[in-house]
Amino acid sequence: MTFYPLMSLVFRFLLFVSFLVLIIACYTSGREIKIQTPLDRLSQGNEYFMKSTSKDQILNLKKGQFPYAVVVACSDSRVSPELIFHEDLGSLFVVRTAGNIIGEYEMGSIEYAIENFHSSLIVVLGHEDCGAVSAYLSNSDKKLNGNIQEIVDYIKEEEEEKSLPDTLSYEILLPMAIKANVLHGIHEVHKSEIIKSSLADKKLTIVGAIYHLVDGHVEFIIE
């Protein structure tokens, strides 16, 4: 066999092997592709949290918590108090419901923090474009599914909402209704005997706040 036919044979062999490797690679990589589920994402996030957070910091919080503020916030995923106030674990006692409404369980949670951790500040935090307040303004005679209607009905009963003019357009009324809902929260918190006692001892301040989605600014409302 001459040199050139031999080279041609080797070249064809190498081409075949490369093709075979490519097929195997595609097949095996295809089999290894795993779609990340929401639970996978949480689990990986927690692994990262454990790796990136000081072990001492975590262990130190096992001894107890001393949150300096209670934040009553909406459950909206864009308004996480620890993130928007740039706070760490153990600093904020957070109570969240859609529409930052305060029923018995929420009030009990706030009182628990004031009584046990002596937090010196309560913030009732609403936010721009709140879906719960928007649902209240848009609510017709048709009932919302499940317990969602309960949230709308709660807001509907607020005196602060009832005092708003009903002649305004939805766009103008929404921010006013969001503020009225925050004011209602402040007024509700003042009804608690535990809170009254802390206020009398001048150990507590209560403020409202609105988080602006457009730029991340928190506007405090001090009555």
Contacts with Zn ion, residue ranges (CB under 5 A): 74, 76, 130
- Give the C-alpha separation, 92 to 35, whole Å: 35
Neighbours of 141 (CB within 10 A): 4
Least distance (Å) between residue 127 CB and Zn ion: 5
Choose between 133 and 204: whose C-beta lies nearer to Zn ion. Answer: 133
- Give the C-alpha separation, 101 to 94, whole Å: 13
Least distance (Å) between residue 79 CB and Zn ion: 7
- Give the C-alpha separation, 201 to 170, whole Å: 42
Least distance (Å) between residue 131 CB and Zn ion: 5
Choose between 58 and 148: whose C-beta lies nearer to Zn ion. Answer: 148
Choose between 88 and 150: whose C-beta lies nearer to Zn ion. Answer: 150
**Rounded (5°) CA angle 122-128-130:** 85
Choose between 74 and 95: whose C-beta lies nearer to Zn ion. Answer: 74
- Give the C-alpha separation, 190 to 184, whole Å: 10
Least distance (Å) between residue 99 CB and Zn ion: 6
Per the CB < 8 A criterion, the answer to whether 161 and 101 are in contact is no
Per the CB < 8 A criterion, the answer to whether 109 and 95 are in contact is yes
Least distance (Å) between residue 117 CB and Zn ion: 26
Q: Measuring CA to CA, which residue among 128, 145, 147, 130 is closest to residue 216?
A: 128
Residue with tokens 């150990």: 203
Least distance (Å) between residue 50 CB and Zn ion: 31
Choose between 67 and 126: whose C-beta lies nearer to Zn ion. Answer: 126
Choose between 70 and 74: whose C-beta lies nearer to Zn ion. Answer: 74
Residue with tokens 């081409």: 15
Order of strands, edge to edge, in the sheet holding 205-211?
A: 92-97, 69-74, 121-127, 205-211, 218-221
